[in-house]
Amino acid sequence: MENSLEWAKSICRNGLRPLLREFTTVRKYIPKDITTDYFDQNATKNRIALHTQFRYTDVMCIDSTRVVLQGRSKKNNYIHANWVRLPSSRRYICTQGPLDETVEDFWLMIFKVIF
């Protein structure tokens, strides 16, 4: 908590520019041992309908922590979502907003996690 207070004071003192510079640098960092094969193989599920650009070009789905759609074949079990673990050992899912073509996958993921 003390570090959080110092961080907040530093933002008040220095403004947002240093934070934005840090964010710009950090967002491009990809550790060398990370793979994104499923993300790369499922490009169409990451795209906005009728557009050729990724919805979030800098948000890749990491293989080692990706959510696997249960009850689907290996060829069809991809969703752009990753498990994230907190220090408290709680886990949550980070995912992109579903596209028209992936709404069914999104809700399947939610129901399988809850039930």
Please tell me whether residues 43 and 90 are part of one structural domain: yes
Tell me the C-alpha distance between 111 and 93, whole Å. Answer: 13
Q: Is 25 helix (H, G, I), strand (E, B) or coil?
A: helix
Q: What is the pLDDT of residue 53?
A: 40
The contacts of residue 26 (CB under 8 Å, 6+ apart) are: none
Q: What is the count of structural domains for the chain?
A: 2
Indicate the helix (H) or strand (E) that contains 93: strand 91-95
Please tell me whether residues 90 and 59 are part of one structural domain: yes
Domain range enclosing 23: 1-30
Please tell me whether residues 17 and 70 are part of one structural domain: no
pLDDT block averages, 10 residues each, the chain of length 115? 80 92 84 86 65 59 92 88 89 86 90 85
